[in-house]
Every structure is written in C-alpha cells, then in structure tokens.
Structure 1
Amino acid sequence: MEGIKNLNALRNEMVGDPEINSRIASYELAFRMQSAAPELIDLKSETKQTLDAYGLDRDEPELKASRGGGKGQFHSFASNCLLARRLVERGVRFVSLFHASWDHHSNLDAELKQNCLMADQPVAALIKDLKQRGLLDSTLVIWLSEFGRTPLGENRGGSANVTGRDHHPFAFSIWMAGGGIKGGQVIGKTDELGWNIVEEPIHINDLHATLLHLFGMDHLKLSYKFQGRDFRLTDVAGKVVKKLLA
C-alpha cells in the first residue's frame, strides 16, 4: 500500500494531475475500511442479552416460496441490524439495510407473515439499542420502499393460494425515528379503500426536502445548471414538512 502511494505521489510530482491525489485518497480510504472490517463484523464482544434482543438465534419457520432469499434470512437480517448499530457507533454516516423479498404478487398470507416475523424483532432492537447508547438523536432511521401495494388482491394464477398484491404508487406509508423527527404521530390519510391520499399528502420531493433539512442543508440552494435549466435534488418542487420535525 505504501509503495503504491509513493508511486502515485511520484507521478503527481511529474504531471501535477489533481486526480492522482484523489486516487491516493481513495486507496487509503479503501485500506482503512478493509482493515477495520474484521473487528466490525466480529460479534464476540456483544453480550448474550444484546444478541438475544436482536434475535440472531431465533427459530426460523420453514417457508416454501419463490421469494425470500432461502433459509437463514432471520439470522442474516438480525445480524445486519446489529452490524448497522456497530457501523453507526464507528462513525459511518450512511447505512442501508436491504431485504428484497417483499414483492408479494402471490402467496401473500404466508410470505408477508414470514417477513414481518423476520423484521419486527431486530428492527425494534436496533432502535432501542441506538436510544440506550445515546445515538438515536443523531441517527435518522427510515423504513421505506419505492412504492406500496394495492389494497385489493391480485390473482395472476387464478387460484386462491397464489393471491397477492400488485404495485401501488398512489398511496403508501413509511416510518421514521430519531434524528430530529417528532415521533408518536401519523401524518396523512387515505380513502376508505386505501387507494388514494385524501389528507395531508407528502410527495417524495417533500420527503427529500425534509431529509435534507434534517441533514443541515437547504434543498432550494442545492441547484446546478444542466442542459439549459436549473436542477436540484428536489427538482422544481418539494417543501420541508414542518410537522415531522421535533
């Protein structure tokens, strides 16, 4: 690593290319990340109480389905939630927890129950753990997806055991905790079917504007000109949802 750095530094002295300094910084960051990983993922320092709270060794119900990622998802997701807390403790500024088996076009009753059982305990443990360690106030936790599911059943296969829910972008829910969010409230309301929003709609641009505000940035000032017009992260819309703020 030191040899690569010296070679890049020598080249930089010869040509004065600022991209070389960027490359050196990237290599050094990658090395620091790799060297920190073994300690990060070693959970031996965690107490049994913590491991049990996240549910790393819970019994996992057997589910025969085309989605879900296979056996071991309960342990894997719980471990990732615990690793998320350990990353936050070590100063990592963005952590993404991902699980891809929520696309319930069929077998809804069994698969949704499985996923909820998988997620509820470790996610609750993560929030509680962050709070106990004094990290929740400075950590914004968001549970969301790119769209919701229809309030009506979807049956592509024509039999009751494959009934699911289709994609639905018109109304869906997310939840947020910590990081300057005012908890204990529900904002917005759908019609009696859950199809459309009828009260206090929050557009994705509003959500982005609010997130940027919580990060200390004014979304109206994050503009750049491209192909003849101004662009910003919230496009030409978006407003901070003051009701969300603590």
Structure 2
Amino acid sequence: MSIDPNASHSRREFLQTAGGGLGGLALTAMLAGEGRSQSHHASKARRVIQIFCPGGMSQVDTFDYKPELEKRNGKPFDTDGTLQFFASKPGNCRGSHWKFRQHGESGRWMSDLFPRLATCVDDMAFIYSMHSKTALHGPACFMMNTGFTLPGFPSMGSWVTYGLGSEADDLPAFVVLPDPRGLPPGGIINWGAGFLPAEHQATTLDTSNPSQPIADLFPPKGIAEVTPTTDRAGLEFLQKLNRLHQQSRSGNSELDARIKAYEMAAQLQLSAPEATDLSRETAATQQLYHTDHPEIGPFGRQCLLARRLAQRGVRFVQIYCGAENTTAKKIRPNWDSHEDLSRDHGYWGAVLDAGASALLTDLKQQGMLDDTLVICTTEFGRQPAAQGDGGKGRDHNAGAFTAWLAGGGIKGGVGYGTTDELGYTAVENPTYSYDLHATALHLLGIDHTRLTFYHNGIERRLTDVHGHLIQEILA
C-alpha cells in the first residue's frame, strides 16, 4: 500500500481552506465505529489511557529506590575515568533529591516527589528494568510509542484501533491530548498511523480551548457568510467532489479517511463539545483534579478529559505531561533535567502527582479502573551521577528507567525487574517497549504476534520480531 504525500498535500490545503469546519480532521480516525474486530482471547481491559512524560524521568528520584546510591553520595561514580554519558562525563554519585518511603500494604517504595500517587501504590505495578535503544529524545519517544527508533511506523494507539476499532459511534477511536506548552520531541509522528490505513491515526484535542476542542471543527467566528446551514452545504459539496475523486483512486486510504471524517462532521459538532465540557463535572471532581490551579490544573484537565473520553467509548487516549525540549528558561518544558533536577522534576513531579493520582482515584470511583488499562512511561531514564554546574542535574540514561501500569488486569503492588545497586543499568529481566506493548495488547485481548499488517513485503507488528508477555504483573 503506497500513498503519494505530494498529491494529497494540495487537496489537504484545499479542503482546509474551503471546508470552514473540518480541515484539521480530514486525515484522522473519525469513523470510530467501523472496523471492529474479534479479539484473539478474552480481554481484561476495554480501553487504554497512557500518560507519556517526555524528557527522561529520573528513575532514582521517583520509583527505583537505591540505598547504595545514597551511601555513595558525593563519591566518584567512574573511578577510572573511562565512561562517557550522553552529553557529559560522569560526575560524582548523587543520591535521590527526595526521600524514599514505603507505602501501602505492598510496601512499595516511592519518593516524596509523589505524595498523592503514593496512596495508589497498591493498584500499581512497576517495571523497574525498562531500557531503550537510544538516548536521543525523538528516537526514544518513537521507540516507546511505535517500537522503532525511526519515524514512519504506526503508534500503539493506531495498532490498537486497527485491531479493535472503537466502542463509540460519534467520537474518534484514538485521541491524543498534547501538553498545552506544545508538542513532544518528534511531534505528531509519535501518534501517526504510519503504513496503517490513515483513519487509525490520532485526533488531537486542545484542552485549553473549550470552544474549539478540535482544530477547525466549527466555522470561524465573525464571518457572516458562514452559518450552520452554509457550512453543512459546503460539507455536502465537498463530499460530492471527494466521491468523484475517489472513483479512480479506490486504494487511497487518506482519501477514504477524509471522506469518513466529513461524513461524521455533524455528529462530531454535537458530541465533541459535550465530551470536552469539563464544567459538566461536579465541583468535587474538578477539585480532585485541581482544574483551577494555574500550574497543575492544565494536566489535571487533560486527565479528567481522558476519563470522560474513555467513559464515552474512546478506545485509546494518550496524555502528554511535558512538551518539546526547546530551551531551559526558568523551568524546562519537560522532564529533561540536565541543569537542575530539583527545580525541573520538582515542578513536573507535582503536575504528574496531582493528575495521575486523581485519574486513578476517579476511575476507581466510577467503576472503570477494572477494565481501563492505565500506563505511565517516559522515553528513558537519568544517570545516577551528577551533571552540570554544582552537580544539580542528571544526564540521559537509556540503560534504565521505570514504567508503571494500573487497572485493566494488572496485579497491583508488585514490581518486575531490577537495576543494579546504583540504578545505572537494567540487570534482572531487562525490558524493552516490545514487552510492555505485548503485555498491553494481551490485556486488550490481542495476541501481539497475530496483530499484523503486510507492508513492503513484510508482515509488520507493533512488537517487530520481539516481545514477550510479562506474566508477573498480570492479575
């Protein structure tokens, strides 16, 4: 299956200019109810909410307790001077910037960076031995999202909707909520459909713009000539043009996706505003998510919106906690803490702590946690040694990081894999994204070896030729 991007580009520009209402949706997965497939086995989870923390969250300051690192604080990490980190030579060992404590009946360790999330520890399973093939932000984000370090491969959300479709008839099957500060490293490729049919790529929602949650969903205000009646007439005219155009291009999945998007325009103009209207929630629920807080409120709104979308049948929702690492001003726009980890992780830790704990608590109260798989990950970890002036930061570390899961068939209060005594590298059960993806697909009722798409002579998979089920974290 091949698509000519140049040929579709001019049509896309035309539709975005002339449509007055759905240009930004033309290539998204809007016909959510179509393509429902039979699962390979009984599922534990019906849907996924994934939290992605770009920039590289430090495992030794959050979830992976290393008392030996604390003992060696201030002592040389690389005694013979042969190591080279991603962007620096190793500094001295640096223990956690926050105290670790045991929590819950399970006694799982978590740092004081997450006081609220610590109350949910018995619902969470931790994979301490995650590692990546790269310490570059963009390629590492691609790997965690698509299983490949190169761009152009389908994201996990695309694979899930390709395999299962959606439970909603009037909302997209796959929705992404980018951080209000901007896109993550690698941009929209992180949630692209790659070589899968274009209808399986994500639709992005803007949580900061309630009146226009989806770009170009409604006609621009202030133009007298554009009314609901004329807008509907314009959509119908464009559909006629698209149908004529389609007759000689039956294999163009981008055109098919565009036509389906316009067919759902009227439904979306009704369903999207209702689904994204957080004011419909009770005051207690809004307070739980701290939606009015100037700093942690934006992520809280993303998490609350994710719950509302999942509640309405959206199959896969991805939330970004952090944006592209453009510059280090007062606080970095993500978890990439080279200069001052206490400053940057201190800020983002409070953001994640409030939103993620509220999400788990709310899902449980709504009776949704048992069949909603929640995943939280980053693209790689950080070094146990100090970096920067005064040794206040940490460099990239592809050798070790932590991911956690909850709900949807997950055994709470357990851990899987270990890193070495300093948290430098995964040593027991090293785990790649392939294994995390294989386990998530299994919980959704999908055998990762059987979810395939033939492309360029290869039966492609989300897990490539790798991946194994992590039985130890399954309920």
Mapped partners of 1:228, 1:122: distance in 2: 43
Residue from 423, 428, 439 that aligns with 1:194: 423
Residue from 264, 276, 293 that aligns with 1:41: 276
- For the Cα contact (< 8 Å) 2:239–2:259, is it kept in 1? no
Alignment gaps of 5+ in structure 2: 1-231, 323-333
- For the Cα contact (< 8 Å) 1:8–1:24, is it kept in 2? no
Residue from 17, 26, 33 that aligns with 2:261: 26
Higher relative contact order (CA 8 A, sep 6+): 2
Matches within 5 A, 1:171-190: 171-190=400-419
SS at match of 2:264: helix
1:217 paired to 2:446: yes
Identity %: 43
TM-score when normalising by structure 2: 0.44
Mapped partners of 1:108, 1:93: distance in 2: 35
Alpha carbon RMSD of aligned pairs, Å? 2.5
Matches within 5 A, 1:108-119: 108-119=341-352
TM-score when normalising by structure 1: 0.82
Residue from 236, 259, 263 that aligns with 1:3: 236
Moved more, 191-200 or 141-150: 191-200
1:94 paired to 2:94: no
1:129-181 deviation line (CA, Å, top 9, x unaligned):
111111112211111011111111111xxx22x72111111111011001111
How far apart are 1:228 and its partner, in Å?
A: 5.3
1:107 paired to 2:107: no
Residue 144 of structure 1: aligned partner: 377
Counterpart amino acid of residue 187 in structure 1: Y
1:104-151 deviation line (CA, Å, top 9, x unaligned):
111211221111112212211111111111111221111101111111
Moved more, 20-29 or 205-214: 20-29
- For the Cα contact (< 8 Å) 1:150–1:165, is it kept in 2? yes
Instruction: Return closer, same or farther for 1:27/1:186 CA change in 2, 3 Å cut-off.
Output: same
Residue 77 of structure 1: aligned partner: 299
Instruction: Return closer, same or farther for 1:52/1:223 CA change in 2, 3 Å cut-off.
Output: closer
- For the Cα contact (< 8 Å) 1:107–1:163, is it kept in 2? yes
- For the Cα contact (< 8 Å) 1:191–1:197, is it kept in 2? yes
Residue from 162, 166, 169 that aligns with 2:395: 166
Mapped partners of 2:236, 2:458: distance in 1: 46
Counterpart amino acid of residue 245 in structure 1: L
Instruction: Return closer, same or farther for 1:229/1:22 CA change in 2, 3 Å cut-off.
Output: closer
* Number of residue pairs matched by the alignment: 229
How far apart are 1:21 and its partner, in Å?
A: 5.4
Moved more, 18-27 or 5-14: 5-14
Residue 470 of structure 2: aligned partner: 241
Mapped partners of 1:53, 1:221: distance in 2: 41
Residue 126 of structure 1: aligned partner: 359
SS at match of 1:220: coil
SS at match of 1:186: strand
Moved more, 112-121 or 18-27: 18-27
1:48-97 deviation line (CA, Å, top 9, x unaligned):
11111111234xxxxxxxxxxxxx43121111111111111111111111
SS at match of 1:180: coil
Mapped partners of 1:197, 1:185: distance in 2: 17
